[in-house]
Structure 1
Amino acid sequence: MADETGLFLYGIVPSDVEPTPDAAGVGEPPGEVDVVRHRDLAVLVSEVGLEEPIGRPADLTAYQTLLDGTAEVAPVLPVRFGTVVTGPDAVTDLLEAHHEQFAAALDEFEDRTQYTVHGRFDEQQLISELLAENPDAAALAEQVRGRPEIESREQRIRLGEMIAQAVELRREAENRALIDAVGELAVRHAPRQPSDELDAVNVAFLVGVDDEEEFVRVLEDFAEQRRDLIRTRLLGPLAPYDFVSAHQLVE
């Protein structure tokens, strides 16, 4: 008996979008990317075995590569990673049932792309600044210096709490400063949860293509002003992953 297959869904696009001949999907070997159309909408798909495990790093990379490449040439509404349906009829039923929502979302993302700004504090520099600004923390640091952990446990815990609080407050301030610096160059912004205790900034921005060059310039200035304290990365252009929650009806 042949293995049962389904369709892995990547993203919803206008119906005139065509996958490139070299587009590779998830799975091992990578699936061939196809498109299922209904009215003026379509979904990028590839065939997968229903018993095939999906979720390897290579699968996530294939998913993101396809969506980010598509977003460079057309609006795309990412579908939650790992969504698999039984076949083309299920895809057309989905597009018909939510046509207005999907069409409105694609209109919103026309000529717009996501950039994500992620920065991480330099731990030693951050602690140095904290100790210079906070006499209580500096006193605790002096008390624990050179002493065995078991003898200075209480002071180390208090110092750790001070450092954690300082990181949180500084993170909030840096995220606000980042959003203020970008100003009207971003159509929307979406603060993201820290991925590490030393995260300094982590914000996604939806940017119009006409503003991309100036947006990148502003971000470069922001990063340069903080280069001793924060290691900043700009990721993009990307598909609008952080801006689809109101329209992402595929769970």
Structure 2
Amino acid sequence: MAAVRDGELAALTSPVESTKVRAKRRDLLNHSEVLAAALERGTVLPLRFGVVFENEAALVEGFLRSRQEELAALLRKFEGKVELTVRAQYEENAILAEIVQANPRIAQLREQTRGGQDAATYPLRAELGERVADELQRRTERDRKALLDRLSPLAVDTEVDRERIEHQALRASFLVKRRDVTAFDDVMDELAGTHAGRIRFKYVGPLAPHSFVSVTPLESR
């Protein structure tokens, strides 16, 4: 690993044998570890894994120097900030039990279709599936809003992934000032306790601001 410098900018690099870099698990982990180590020492603008320059001159002339103003502005923008990611996944049995308990019609349909897979119960099973899906979506939207209402005020910016994934209440990235990370940690601990047995959280960070900056070196190969 070497730092290629041009003025106040520096790019962390390592030599490769080919311009076509395969995304092997080991290399992806190494890439993440390098970013994490650099983040401990200062502000980092992450490039996607596999960006390759023909040589050091191409890196300096075609990227660091030609886009110096843009890169310097981005470094100032993200100075003192890190990314924190949160995934909130429902415990399937718990959320389904919650839905059944709160909705008499769903509870009734569940009893009427229990163990029944014949044609006679198909309309009831179809209604049950639709009602459960609708109620789960309502709860997902409600819980997502509640979680964001707690977390977003602690962040400078928030990116929410709106792709629907079964039994997932929230998948979001938060751009947070370093000095506010501890406060964010405390709220996450509180949320994990409040929703214990109902929602399972995956909380990762601090990270470089992958979700908030997209730098594409046009001269890479």
TM-score band, normalised by shorter chain: 0.7 to 0.9
Q: Post-superposition, which runs of at least 4 consecutive aligned residues in structure 1 deviate over 6 A?
A: none
SS in 2 for 1:159: helix
- Equivalence for 1:37: 5
Alpha-carbon separation, structure 2, partners of 1:150 and 1:45 = 63
Question: Is residue 48 of structure 2 the alignment partner of residue 85 of structure 1?
Answer: no
- Equivalence for 2:26: 58
Change (3 A) 1:127 1:214: same
Question: Is residue 129 of structure 2 the alignment partner of residue 129 of structure 1?
Answer: no
Could you report, residue by residue, the CA deviation over 1:76-133 in whole angstroms, capped at 9, with x for unpaired residues? 0111222222111221111223222211111122111111111210111111111122
* Aligned residue runs from structure 1 range 219-234, under 5 A: 219-234=188-203
TM-score after normalising by structure 2: 0.88
Q: CA deviation at 1:191?
A: 0.8
Question: Is residue 113 of structure 2 the alignment partner of residue 113 of structure 1?
Answer: no
**Identity rate, percent:** 32
- Equivalence for 2:156: 187
Flag structure 2 segments of 5+ consecutive residues without an equivalent: none
Cα contact 2:90–2:167 (8 A) shared by 1: yes
Match of 2:174 among 205, 209, 215: 205
Match of 1:173 among 137, 142, 146: 142
| Residue identity opposite 1:90 in structure 2 | A
* Aligned residue runs from structure 1 range 141-160, under 5 A: 141-148=110-117, 152-160=121-129
Q: CA deviation at 1:144?
A: 1.8
- Structure with a larger share of its residues in strand: 1
Cα contact 1:80–1:250 (8 A) shared by 2: no
TM-score after normalising by structure 1: 0.78
| Residue identity opposite 2:217 in structure 1 | V
- Equivalence for 2:65: 96
Number of aligned residues = 217
| Residue identity opposite 1:34 in structure 2 | A
SS in 2 for 1:189: strand
Cα contact 2:43–2:80 (8 A) shared by 1: yes
Flag structure 1 segments of 5+ consecutive residues without an equivalent: 1-32
Alpha-carbon separation, structure 2, partners of 1:78 and 1:35 = 14
Q: Supply the RMSD in Å over aligned alpha carbons.
A: 2.1
Match of 1:236 among 205, 211, 214: 205
- Equivalence for 1:214: 183
* Aligned residue runs from structure 1 range 2-13, under 5 A: none
Cα contact 1:223–1:232 (8 A) shared by 2: yes
Alpha-carbon separation, structure 2, partners of 1:161 and 1:83 = 46
Higher relative contact order (CA closer than 8 Å, sequence separation 6+) = 2
SS in 1 for 2:41: coil
Q: CA deviation at 1:190?
A: 1.0
Cα contact 1:192–1:203 (8 A) shared by 2: yes
- Structure with a larger share of its residues in helix: 2
